[in-house]
Structure 1
Amino acid sequence: MKNIKITYWTLTIIFAALMILDGIGGVTQQQEGQAALRQLGYPIYLMCIIGTAKILGAMALVQNKFSTLKEWAFAGFAFNFIGASLSWAFSGGQVLLVLIPLVMLVFMALVYYFWKRFQETLL
């Protein structure tokens, strides 16, 4: 049971930190992100919207009071990763650019799995 708790919190903190860093990159409209959005055909202002959502989603993941909010954050990240992967695939992006969001989706699914296991230990 202790291993589940440690694994859950370790994976959650790593994932949340990655999403916060990515969100900050979006809010500050980093050049690499702008170039990617131009290549995909999306407006630059979308970076602020998605960046803010990622920061708020990461905050929702590290709290334990509102489980429904956490479920919605997981769903939002899943939609984001699937949408990013499909956007790169449909725009003719490199295979690596298509796969990176899918790898993050798998990592997020692992966090979700351990969150559910962690919840079982609390009952």
Structure 2
Amino acid sequence: MKPKTIKILYYIFTVLFALAMLADAYGGITMQQAGTDSLARLGYPMYLLVIMGSAKILGVAAILQTRYVAIKEWAYAGFTISFVGAVLSWAAVAPDIANLVPPVVMLAIMLFTYYLWKKYEQVKDLEITNNTLAGNTEAA
């Protein structure tokens, strides 16, 4: 993939993922009916919606920021744990494929954004190195 393609795909998929997680967070914090029905079926307490919604907002902020790599890594790890937990919870309670698809799809999208982020970081590092070697210190 070309560096420009990596950059464009990274931003598109990261923004789409962030918007999806913000929508889900809003639904959780405002205790929307779909969320309360799901948690009741899974047997989890209702206050978990607010906790997970708040965590998703923080996770989105961490993924969108560009300064602290470790915080971004932890946000991706947190989302991974959340999606894997959702898949395992639905598989344990209602092994219906329809309930497993949304968290698996979101996990796949998130892993793709993570992959693109890592590729984008490599491209940026390579560009900085090339500019420095060429004597162009303004771009570095």
The TM-score with structure 2 as length reference comes to 0.86
Stretches of structure 1 that go unaligned for 5 or more consecutive residues are: none
Stretches of structure 2 that go unaligned for 5 or more consecutive residues are: 126-140
1:44 aligned partner: 46
1:89 aligned partner: 91
The structure that has the greater radius of gyration is 2
Whichever residue aligns with residue 5 of structure 1, its letter is: K
- The CA RMSD over aligned residues, in Å, is 0.8
- Aligned-pair identity in percent equals 45
Using the TM superposition, give the Cα deviation of residue 94 of structure 1 relative to its aligned residue in structure 2, in angstroms: 2.2
| Rounded Cα–Cα distance in structure 2 between residues aligned with 1:23 and 1:92 | 23
Higher relative contact order structure (alpha carbons within 8 Å, sequence separation ≥ 6): 1
Using the TM superposition, give the Cα deviation of residue 93 of structure 1 relative to its aligned residue in structure 2, in angstroms: 4.4
| Rounded Cα–Cα distance in structure 2 between residues aligned with 1:94 and 1:29 | 24
| Rounded Cα–Cα distance in structure 1 between residues aligned with 2:107 and 2:88 | 13
Using the TM superposition, give the Cα deviation of residue 21 of structure 1 relative to its aligned residue in structure 2, in angstroms: 0.5
Is 2:56 aligned against 1:63? no
How many pairs does the alignment contain? 123
Runs of 4+ in 1 over 3 A off after TM superposition: none
1:99 aligned partner: 101
1:23 aligned partner: 25
Aligned residue for 1:29, secondary structure, equals coil
Q: Deviations over 1:19-75 (max 9, x none)?
A: 011001000010110010000000000000000001110111111001110000000
Using the TM superposition, give the Cα deviation of residue 2 of structure 1 relative to its aligned residue in structure 2, in angstroms: 1.1
The TM-score with structure 1 as length reference comes to 0.97
